[in-house]
Chains A and B, each alone.
Chain A
Amino acid sequence: MFDIFAQISIGWANAVSPINLFFCLIGVLLGTVVGVLPGIGPLVSISLLFPITLHLEPVSALIMLAGIYYGASYGGSTTSILLNLPGESASAITCLDGYPMAKQGRPGVALLITAITSFIGGSIGIVLLMMFAPAIASIGLRFGPAENFSLMLMALIAASVVGSGSSLKGVAMVIFGVTLGLVGTDPQTGVQRFVFGVPEFYEGLSLVALAMGLFGIPEIISSIRETRNTSVERQTVTLRSMIPTRKDLSQTWRPALRGSAIGSFFGVLPGTGGLIASFMSYSLEKRIARDPSRFGNGAIEGISGPEAANNAAAQTSFIPTLTLGIPGSATMAIMLSLLIVHGISPGPRMINEHPDVFWGLVMSFWIGNVLLLILNIPLIGIWVRLLTIPYNLLYPAILMFICIGAYSASKMPLEVGMVVGFGALGYLLRLLSFPAVPVILGFVLGPMIETQFVRSMLLSRGDFMTFVERPISASILAVAAAILIWAGYSALSGKGKPIIEEEE
């Protein structure tokens, strides 16, 4: 028991060190900006900064990237409320009641409420993370290669199946990602695979280039065509206009708590996250409201619940990555890679072997959320003004960051060439309606899942049944099978899934 307190205080000391405070601030500010600006999301920004963070201490790098991740959840709602345009996919629901509130002359209140409920959601998420992470990690310590394999398989299946579009295509993309991930030197035998004599491929294909090419480039290409007729109505969002009435507050706190619970749940599950959580929260609030007709016309529950949900999800989504080494989304996969590159193997042992990293990161979540709550309110004017930057200035800047970012990772022009190649691939995928997120997950997990499979087979001496004979592994596989069956059922019966795609 005292052990945990000692570890937490190590983490706290780490988090409040001037350097890490600085990176936390940069991270959450960047995250808010990224969340506010439509067309660039946390996934692309984190992949852009990934090569640069290689020069930093792992804790500092993680603190900053994490700040971008949950910071974006705060920023995305700003454009939803003011412009009916979600800055981030998970903030789409906030448009439904946030924009009407703005039109009714209450944008300030909406913005403040989203900030507060985001903070509530984030805080509850962090508390749950702190409470459950050590316990989950200790369970994970008892996992062998077979259990790890089944867990990763389940995560991949969940990620490819949940969401809009054909599950078949999702699974195909995961396997495609795994194939790409296996290019390079085989960790087991040292043999070169699919390298075609190109020395730069010995270490495998570049995750940075893949992420930027698959997500950043197609987004830019399609955004150019859209006429950006976003006239930011000069709403005077004064500080005084933000003060909510007592009625507002009384209608807010319960949806916020409910939303936090929903968000925390969906955040932990692989393949789901803020978007589904906010959607579910909205549906729930509408269903239990005394007067559902208010929804869509500025009902405050319509923003409190979903905003709490997506921030709670942003925090709890760190749980599987940090405690078990299983990323639940493409963004988490990139953060996982960051840890691996720095020599920290994420998983059950990480809490005990690197408490400074783990608890430092968790404590930084507190700092970050407080910073976001305080900063978002006065800085709203700046965010609004950011939106007036025409896209024609923005996209060359984004492209430039992509180019230099990719180049700086390895100082190899080929890295930039890979961005071009993956960019074309990303465009093709979008054209043919194939989801891109599962590719990244497959890419990162591919080598790991192969290692676990090979080890399981070595231990069981070629007995394939070992995955079902071991009880934990068997139960995980049963869950995975259930997900597959559900997917197959809803596909065949033509019920169709809600049009939700977890972008990041």
Chain B
Amino acid sequence: MHAIHKDLLGGSLLAAFGAFVAIYAMATLRIGSLQNVGPGGMLAACGILLVLIGIPIAIGGLRGGESIPPIERRPLAAILGSIAAFGILIGPTGLVPAVIAQVVISALAEETINWGRLVMTTAILVVLAILVFQVFLNLELVLIAGTGW
């Protein structure tokens, strides 16, 4: 990344998050008093503490330290994407298409794709999924939407 140091970004994010929590809690929830702590009390306190801790971390980052390592975009996108695909598909289409989508997309995380191995892996995992979750654990998941399975 650009030469932003880890702690500068980390501390700033922390403080920003804390500020958000504290302000939102104070705006929408009752803070209460020490004797009668309201639902927002602890949250606001946590938010303020995060701001108080985030600032020194960020300042420490200003004075140097490690810079942020490069983000591994390809694996990150593939893995998160594969899980998202599963989540999107499982409702409408059932278990089998969701697993297929998940396995295929997660394979994109690698530099080279061996299609033969991918097909085999997908087949194995679909069978494994059905065996473990449907048969063994009896979770009653819809396998393929629209069929009686």
- Interface residues of chain A, those whose CB is within 8 Å of chain B, are 52, 55, 166, 168-169, 171-172, 175-176, 178-179, 182, 186, 188-189, 191, 193-194, 217, 220-222, 224-225, 392-393, 395-397, 399-400, 402-404, 407-408, 413-417, 419-420, 423-424, 427, 431-434, 446, 450, 453-454, 457-458, 461-462, 464
Contact check, A393 vs B121: say whether CB atoms are below 8 A apart: yes
**Most A CB within 10 A of own CB, among B54, B86, B99:** B86
20 contacts between A and B (CB under 8 A): A166-B57, A168-B53, A172-B14, A194-B24, A392-B117, A397-B125, A400-B128, A414-B87, A416-B86, A419-B83, A423-B79, A427-B76, A432-B13, A433-B66, A434-B10, A457-B34, A458-B35, A458-B36, A461-B35, A462-B35
Contact check, B106 vs A178: say whether CB atoms are below 8 A apart: no
Contact check, A179 vs B43: say whether CB atoms are below 8 A apart: yes
Cα-based distance from A193 to B39 in the complex (angstroms): 7
Interface residues of A: mostly helix, strand, loop or mixed? helix
Q: Which single residue of chain A is at the shortest CB-CB distance from B126? A: A400
User: Which of these, A55, A186, A464, contacts B39 with CB under 8 Å?
Assistant: A186
Contact check, B50 vs A172: say whether CB atoms are below 8 A apart: yes
- Interface residues of chain B, those whose CB is within 8 Å of chain A, are 6-7, 9-10, 13-14, 17, 21, 24-25, 29-30, 33-40, 42-43, 46-47, 49-50, 53-54, 56-57, 66, 68-69, 71-72, 75-76, 79-80, 82-84, 86-88, 90-91, 95, 98-99, 102-103, 106-107, 109-110, 117, 121, 124-125, 128-129, 133, 137, 139, 141
User: Which of these, B21, B90, B125, B133, contacts A396 with CB under 8 Å?
Assistant: B125
Contact check, A396 vs B102: say whether CB atoms are below 8 A apart: yes
Report A-chain residues with C-beta under 8 Å of the C-beta of B121: 392-393, 396
Contact check, A169 vs B10: say whether CB atoms are below 8 A apart: yes
Are A400 and B69 also in contact (CB < 8 A) when A175-B50, A221-B76 are?
no
Report B-chain residues with C-beta under 8 Å of the C-beta of A166: 57
User: Which of these, A172, A176, A179, A403, contacts B83 with CB under 8 Å?
Assistant: A403
Contact check, A450 vs B79: say whether CB atoms are below 8 A apart: no
Cα-based distance from A236 to B125 in the complex (angstroms): 31
Contact check, B39 vs A403: say whether CB atoms are below 8 A apart: no
Are A453 and B103 also in contact (CB < 8 A) when A408-B139, A432-B9 are?
no
The minimal Cβ–Cβ distance linking B129 to chain A, given in whole angstroms, is 6
Cα-based distance from A393 to B110 in the complex (angstroms): 12
Q: Which single residue of chain B is at the shortest CB-CB distance from A416? A: B87
Report B-chain residues with C-beta under 8 Å of the C-beta of A458: 35-36
Are A407 and B83 also in contact (CB < 8 A) when A171-B53, A397-B128 are?
no
Contact check, B79 vs A399: say whether CB atoms are below 8 A apart: yes
The minimal Cβ–Cβ distance linking A61 to chain B, given in whole angstroms, is 13
Q: Which single residue of chain B is at the shortest CB-CB distance from A179? A: B46
Contact check, A408 vs B42: say whether CB atoms are below 8 A apart: no
User: Which of these, B46, B66, B75, B95, contacts A175 with CB under 8 Å?
Assistant: B46
Report A-chain residues with C-beta under 8 Å of the C-beta of B24: 194
Cα-based distance from A224 to B107 in the complex (angstroms): 10
Cα-based distance from A168 to B29 in the complex (angstroms): 28
Cα-based distance from A393 to B133 in the complex (angstroms): 19
What are the 9 tightest A-B residue pairs by CB atom distance, in nearest-first order? Answer: A462-B35, A416-B87, A432-B10, A186-B39, A462-B34, A403-B86, A191-B39, A172-B53, A413-B87
Report B-chain residues with C-beta under 8 Å of the C-beta of A191: 29-30, 39
Contact check, A432 vs B90: say whether CB atoms are below 8 A apart: no
The minimal Cβ–Cβ distance linking A465 to chain B, given in whole angstroms, is 11
Contact check, A413 vs B42: say whether CB atoms are below 8 A apart: no
Report B-chain residues with C-beta under 8 Å of the C-beta of A221: 72, 75-76, 79, 109
User: Which of these, B38, B50, B137, contacts A176 with CB under 8 Å?
Assistant: B50
Contact check, B72 vs A222: say whether CB atoms are below 8 A apart: yes
Contact check, B80 vs A217: say whether CB atoms are below 8 A apart: yes
User: Which of these, B17, B34, B133, contacts A464 with CB under 8 Å?
Assistant: B34
Cα-based distance from A450 to B107 in the complex (angstroms): 44
Contact check, A395 vs B43: say whether CB atoms are below 8 A apart: no
Cα-based distance from A407 to B46 in the complex (angstroms): 31
Cα-based distance from A194 to B21 in the complex (angstroms): 9
**Most A CB within 10 A of own CB, among B6, B38, B79, B102:** B79
Contact check, B125 vs A453: say whether CB atoms are below 8 A apart: no
Q: Which single residue of chain A is at the shortest CB-CB distance from B82? A: A399
Report B-chain residues with C-beta under 8 Å of the C-beta of A400: 99, 102-103, 125, 128-129
Contact check, B53 vs A175: say whether CB atoms are below 8 A apart: yes
The minimal Cβ–Cβ distance linking B10 to chain A, given in whole angstroms, is 4
Are A420 and B84 also in contact (CB < 8 A) when A182-B43, A396-B102 are?
yes
Contact check, A408 vs B53: say whether CB atoms are below 8 A apart: no
Are A417 and B84 also in contact (CB < 8 A) when A175-B53, A176-B14, A189-B38 are?
yes
Q: Which single residue of chain B is at the shortest CB-CB distance from A186? A: B39
Are A423 and B80 also in contact (CB < 8 A) when A221-B72, A431-B71, A432-B6 are?
yes
Contact check, A225 vs B83: say whether CB atoms are below 8 A apart: no
Contact check, A420 vs B50: say whether CB atoms are below 8 A apart: no
Cα-based distance from A178 to B33 in the complex (angstroms): 20
Contact check, A179 vs B6: say whether CB atoms are below 8 A apart: no
Cα-based distance from A450 to B34 in the complex (angstroms): 12
Are A188 and B39 also in contact (CB < 8 A) when A217-B80, A403-B87, A432-B68 are?
yes
Q: Which single residue of chain A is at the shortest CB-CB distance from B138? A: A55
**Most B CB within 10 A of own CB, among A392, A432, A433:** A432
The minimal Cβ–Cβ distance linking A12 to chain B, given in whole angstroms, is 28
Cα-based distance from A178 to B50 in the complex (angstroms): 11
Report A-chain residues with C-beta under 8 Å of the C-beta of B14: 172, 176
Are A462 and B33 also in contact (CB < 8 A) when A175-B50, A193-B40 are?
yes
